[in-house]
Chains A and B, each alone.
Chain A
């Protein structure tokens, strides 16, 4: 897996900023052409250095569907500078009501084979509170059109823990999502950073006990629907786990393009400045980015390995991991202590968090990191 590469393209344009979102994006869309110029230049430059075969491409944002088909064509053209595997997973995020059947057909023609739809909720009241531009009906319409255009592999994003949202409210969204027959579902607990407008309403989010029920009940519904959990927030029909996102959690290399995009390449993590003007002026070259990024320390690498592996249901090979630590015994005893309490489970030497463990995974990871001496 490590000799292949993932590509992430950050398209930083939105119709409107959502009140909870802290990803980098702008609403002024006059500069999309200049952005695409820079994006293409950055892709071509990086391809001179990164020669690994590419098996995943992910268009994220922002709202990638706000680029015109023509602009996307140019980006795909630039991508040919990389050696893209014929069976590569090529995903694109789409917000409901920002693409129609014709656009979906065009995406398919360009090579996109997986879509991720920002559904978020099946309640218009909740969508309004989130300041989303779409309605519940828009999501249904969008899914109908993408299906008609021939897409059969798509994800729906849902958010729980919204303002005054009950367990039943969220369950209704989950059921509505399942009716649209996605191959993949992502369930995110609403996390409000201090910089977003909805931060002011943080005290009115569903209480932790409710969020716990929301999550556990959703997991139950998805299991019944035949969607297997493979990560804290992610569920898929057999064979439809997102290969690109798995790269993040398995510490496989990926390159990010566009302002605000993150990369992990050649043992280094780096981010492109979240600044569209600067990016349009001169996109940073891969060589320069690599030069500026320090190589991860061993402690960093071990920390990442643990916190990422325990996000996945496949868990971690506990003994192998402990063997890399200075004092692995303390770590193992802390980890073993989680099992009788129902926060973790062990199968064939691999320890994974249970759903109850996932719910409090920050606390668990912080404890494990302490015990690991990291």
Chain B
């Protein structure tokens, strides 16, 4: 048992590419947790996708043992956090398991958008913020300027901030020293009833769910019967211990202030929710930790295999992913255009993007996804109220008395120069301005009420491009508001393509319809016949384009008897055709479907 005075629990907050993972690697190396030669790169991010995109999707934790120059040995628990708005809740839970956070800032770039939102989350959790200035090995590094910025923008003292290069290792030991000096030790009551926070959980094929937790009060040991307070379920702890850099290290008991894991034959992740409070069945704590919230999907999309024969593979892949991602929901659906697939629910757009990318990459699937949708609430003329997230289920206009759509409270933090552009964007997305305040002379925070269906599309991209990536965006679900909604249908060669239908505000219907038919025209290859592309509301066509017929596609030269090359060319063309979806007489590629989703490119 480590005395709480010798424990430090901390996270690292950084903008993408500011060196979070590299610093984590150095800390592991310096504390002897990892031999340098064993380190490929960025040990903490263990999913392939994370490694490639340089972002952390699921949080992980690791225990380091650090002996300071005076010979005192400390237990440092580094709790990694995901870094995106879709996972804000997970970030807040990870942070609330800590007493402090390292705020890593690139000495050449200064404070960036993403850093701020998470830094504020940490401030909200009363965490001690320890600034670290990274990348001082680069010629453009300006340590003093960045320190000033941290003080003005984040509002924390940066005078003692270690200036380091995680890449070369220069001055990294100062970070360990700062962790011990500035981050307070945990102050739990070891004798109180056990109270621990689940900040992460992963599914393991052999052991069931592995629950990662932080003990605030009391202790937990093997054989204890624990209660997960929000779920109301009880389990017997089978194994428990610390997270070491290369695996789990079981022990008998963990105490107040410590970070660890347990297994208890928990079958699915939905039984061990992040944010839930663990206590003992026979000696429960009187109140759970605050802040628990069930992660509910807010964005929905139809997901189909590009090759219809791979439907069973898609189902297996989704089932496997759900084992490790309690927020992912899905149910089977059928589309006339796309065949068998699934209606999937996601926490947000990044979550959706990550799930789709993992399906494609880890399971080698080619996917077609329909336009993302939100949940609409409809009061029907017969008095009934229904919820619809799928355009296919949208009733005809004469059956709808009133329509409601979800709105979010959005907060955007931006350098002041982009305020005008952001206001234009929010205006264009039907946003209602709430207020704006200046955080400093050149940084502002705006609040808007925005319809969720206006941000599920490409709001992040639009915001990024208007602010050169400097604005950060965060939102929370607000309520439903009455809205004038219509269902827009897309017709190819006169036939409606169900997978391309979507629900949209009536004011937006025409511009969206125009862009979609234009995009489809660009992306549908010319075929033997002319194809009208139309967008319609009810039976009324509001936009039309024409894909003109193919005029010339011929291998004119067949020379010297080289048949093989011609055959290969045609076979390639034939294979391309097999991937196409036939919609009546029209063939549409998976790419054309995807292009419709990315209207802003």
Contact = CB atoms under 8 A, between A and B. Distances in A.
Contacts of A247: 561
B554 A271 contact: no
B528 A343 contact: yes
Interface string A356-374: 0011111111110110001
A310 B553 CA distance: 14
Contact of B528 (A8, A256, A364): A364
Contact of B552 (A8, A188, A215): A215
Interface stretch (B153-161, B465-473, B532-540, B569-577): B569-577
Given A307-B567, A341-B529, A367-B577, A359 B552 contact: yes
Contact of A359 (B551, B562, B573): B551
A346 to B, nearest CB: 18
A311 B577 contact: no
Given A23-B560, A363-B528, A366-B577, A300 B554 contact: no
B557 A360 contact: no
Contacts of B562: 262, 271
B556 interface: yes
A262 B565 CA distance: 10
A248 B561 contact: yes
Q: Which of B528, B555, B556, B564 has the most chain A CB within a 10 Å cutoff?
A: B556
B560 A8 contact: yes
Interface in A175-204: 187-189, 191
Given A248-B563, A261-B560, A269-B564, A366 B555 contact: no
B564 A311 contact: no
B205 interface: no
B551 A209 contact: yes
A10 interface: yes
B559 A60 contact: yes
Nearest to B529: A341
A211 B551 contact: yes
Contacts of B551: 208-209, 211-212, 359-360
Contact of A233 (B527, B556, B578): B556
A76 interface: no
A363 B564 CA distance: 18
B590 to A, nearest CB: 16
B566 interface: yes
A23 B556 contact: no
A189 B560 CA distance: 16
A307 to B, nearest CB: 6
A146 B303 CA distance: 67
Given A212-B552, A367-B577, A370-B577, A188 B564 contact: no
Interface in A75-121: none
A188 B556 contact: yes
B560 A360 contact: no
B558 interface: yes
A254 B562 CA distance: 11
A362 B576 CA distance: 12
Contacts of B574: 365-366, 369-370, 374
B528 A188 contact: no
Interface size class of A (residues with CB under 8 A): 35 or more
B563 A363 contact: no
Given A191-B557, A249-B558, A263-B561, A208 B552 contact: yes
A316 to B, nearest CB: 15
A308 interface: yes
B550 interface: yes
Interface string A229-241: 0001100000000
A341 B550 CA distance: 13
Contact of B570 (A23, A191, A232, A307): A307
B555 A60 contact: no
A154 interface: no
A359 B561 contact: no
Nearest to A307: B570
Given A208-B552, A360-B553, A365 B570 contact: yes
A126 to B, nearest CB: 17
Interface size class of B (residues with CB under 8 A): 20 to 34
B228 to A, nearest CB: 54
A303 B567 CA distance: 8
A300 B571 CA distance: 10
A13 interface: no
A264 interface: yes
B570 A8 contact: no
Contacts, number: 114
A304 interface: yes
Interface string A300-323: 100110011001000000000000
B456 to A, nearest CB: 36
Contacts of B556: 187-189, 191, 232-233
Contact of B563 (A60, A264, A364): A264
Interface in B561-601: 561-564, 566-567, 569-571, 573-574, 576-578
B554 A366 contact: no
Nearest to B525: A363
B578 A363 contact: no
A262 B554 CA distance: 21
A261 B562 CA distance: 8
B564 A271 contact: yes
A71 B566 CA distance: 33
Given A248-B558, A369-B570, A362 B563 contact: no
Interface in A256-303: 256, 260-264, 269, 271, 300, 303
Given A307-B567, A366-B577, A341 B557 contact: no
Contacts of A187: 556
B192 to A, nearest CB: 71
A341 B527 CA distance: 13
A358 B561 CA distance: 19
B578 A370 contact: yes
Contacts of A215: 552
A249 B569 CA distance: 17
Contacts of B557: 188-189, 191, 233
Given A341-B529, A362-B553, A363-B553, A264 B570 contact: no
A189 B563 contact: no
Nearest to A308: B563
A248 B558 CA distance: 8
B570 A362 contact: yes
Given A365-B570, A366-B577, A359 B560 contact: no
Q: Which of B529, B553, B561 has the most chain A CB within a 10 Å cutoff?
A: B561
A358 B554 CA distance: 7
A262 B577 CA distance: 28
A269 B571 CA distance: 17
B552 A256 contact: no
A161 B571 CA distance: 24
A253 B554 CA distance: 25
Contacts of A263: 561
A215 B574 CA distance: 25
B553 A262 contact: no
Contacts of A370: 574, 577-578
A118 B566 CA distance: 22
Nearest to B554: A361
Given A359-B553, A361-B554, A262 B570 contact: no
Given A363-B527, A363-B528, A369-B574, A269 B552 contact: no
B573 A60 contact: no
A359 B551 CA distance: 7
B521 to A, nearest CB: 16
18 contacts: A60-B560, A161-B552, A189-B554, A191-B555, A191-B557, A233-B556, A264-B561, A264-B563, A269-B564, A304-B567, A341-B528, A343-B528, A361-B554, A362-B553, A362-B555, A363-B553, A366-B574, A369-B571
Interface of B: 527-529, 550-564, 566-567, 569-571, 573-574, 576-578
Given A191-B557, A271-B564, 8 more contacts: A161-B552, A262-B561, A269-B563, A269-B564, A271-B562, A341-B529, A359-B552, A362-B554
3 cross-chain pairs, A with B, having the tightest CB-CB distances, nearest first: A189-B556, A208-B551, A366-B573
